[in-house]
């Protein structure tokens, strides 16, 4: 990890780690989907499940990223990725991330054609049953996110501190060849890195301290982003607890060279950040002041997600970050 991978405090950006995770997932799923004779394809990222940042990674450490295919349906692949950091001076290694990603194989000849996935062999029957349950659950959750697809982040003149409008931020990016796959569509990891950058700006504007990514709720990729599109990544604060901030990030794509297609929602997710002092200890977060009815509703929804996740952690269903 180099200085350009990290923030001013030396902590590696969450977006940098997410990009590495997606690259590992894309490699193993594309390799698997082309393991049998037939039409060639590239695996495209469809969804990333909730990812906790269990331990910070710093400049000078080496990242070890390993990926394993854990379930296949007819048209999708589940990949689980582990990230370890290594201090090469002391030899100390620690787990920093565990993530689950879902990919679909797209034909190289026709990008709109989803191919069938070669099945994997499970060592135990219950592993296939557990994978099928995860597959059905993520399908349902993806459908539940469609209601937000028309939502937009609008600028407000002269906002007050600690309000949603005060910290909301947007980034505009022109998609170039280096951002894209063989199909000419943006890598999922590139999109996630941009989303994390915007979420980090929102968190820093709200706290005015050093901030780090604590977790990412499920990232849903609603549609592909083609080379030459202009993407707008918008972020806004939705909820604050005593020591964490939830930020909603929306990605919209505008195919400026194609008049036949209108601007569309390409991806959405919730990021959670924490504020740290110079010693890396958590700081209290200034409380968000929702003003409009929509902001109050988003705050209550965010509070519900926070309470639910806190209950899961106390029940030891997920490791503590």
Cα four-point dihedral sign 294, 147, 310, 24: negative
| Cβ burial, residue 236 (10 Å; 0-12/13-18/19+) | buried
Mark whether 5 is an active-site residue: no
Catalytic status, residue 7 = yes
* Alpha carbons 301 and 280: distance in angstroms, whole number: 29
Neighbours of 136 (CB within 10 A): 11
| From 7, 149, 151, 301, active-site residue | 7
* Helices assigned H by DSSP within 1-51: 14-33
CA distances from 149 to 63, 69, 100, 176 (A): 35, 30, 23, 25
Quote the DSSP letter at residue 120. Answer: P
Place of tokens 């039409």: 39
Residue 15 CA to residue 148 CA, distance in Å, equals 23
> How many whole angstroms separate alpha carbon 97 and alpha carbon 191?
19
| Paired tokens of 237 | 């604060």
Kindly state the helix (H) or strand (E) to which residue 236 belongs, with its residue range. strand 230-240
Choosing from 5, 196, 217, 252, the catalytic residue is: 196
Active site residues: 7, 196
């Amino acid at each position: 990890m180099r200085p350009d991978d990290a923030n001013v405090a030396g902590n590696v950006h969450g977006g940098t780690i997410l990009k590495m995770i997606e690259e590992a997932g894309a490699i193993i799923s594309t390799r698997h989907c082309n393991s049998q004779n037939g039409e060639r394809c590239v695996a495209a990222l469809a969804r990333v499940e909730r990812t906790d940042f269990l331990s910070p990674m710093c400049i000078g450490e080496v990242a070890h990223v390993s990926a394993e295919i854990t379930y296949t349906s007819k048209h999708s692949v589940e990949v689980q990725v582990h990230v370890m950091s290594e201090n090469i001076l002391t030899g100390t290694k620690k787990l920093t991330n565990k993530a689950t990603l879902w990919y679909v194989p797209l034909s190289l000849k026709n990008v709109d054609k989803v191919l069938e996935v070669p099945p994997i062999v499970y060592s135990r029957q219950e592993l296939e049953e557990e994978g099928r349950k995860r597959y059905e659950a993520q399908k349902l959750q993806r459908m539940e996110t469609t209601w937000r697809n028309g939502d937009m982040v609008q600028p407000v003149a002269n906002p007050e501190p600690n309000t949603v409008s005060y910290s909301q931020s947007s980034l505009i990016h022109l998609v170039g060849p280096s951002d894209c796959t063989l199909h000419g569509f943006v890598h999922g990891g590139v999109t996630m890195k941009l989303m994390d950058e915007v979420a980090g700006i929102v968190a820093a504007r709200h706290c005015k301290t050093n901030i780090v990514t604590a977790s990412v709720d499920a990232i849903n990729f609603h549609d592909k982003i083609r080379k030459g599109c202009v993407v707008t990544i918008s972020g806004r604060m939705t909820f604050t607890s005593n020591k964490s901030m939830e930020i909603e990030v929306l990605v919209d794509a505008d195919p400026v060279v194609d008049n036949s297609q209108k601007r569309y929602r390409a991806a959405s997710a919730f990021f959670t950040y924490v504020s740290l002092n110079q010693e890396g200890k958590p700081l209290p977060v200034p409380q968000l002041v929702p003003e409009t009815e929509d902001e109050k509703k988003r705050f209550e929804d965010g509070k519900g997600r926070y309470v639910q996740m806190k209950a899961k952690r106390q029940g030891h269903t997920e490791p503590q970050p």
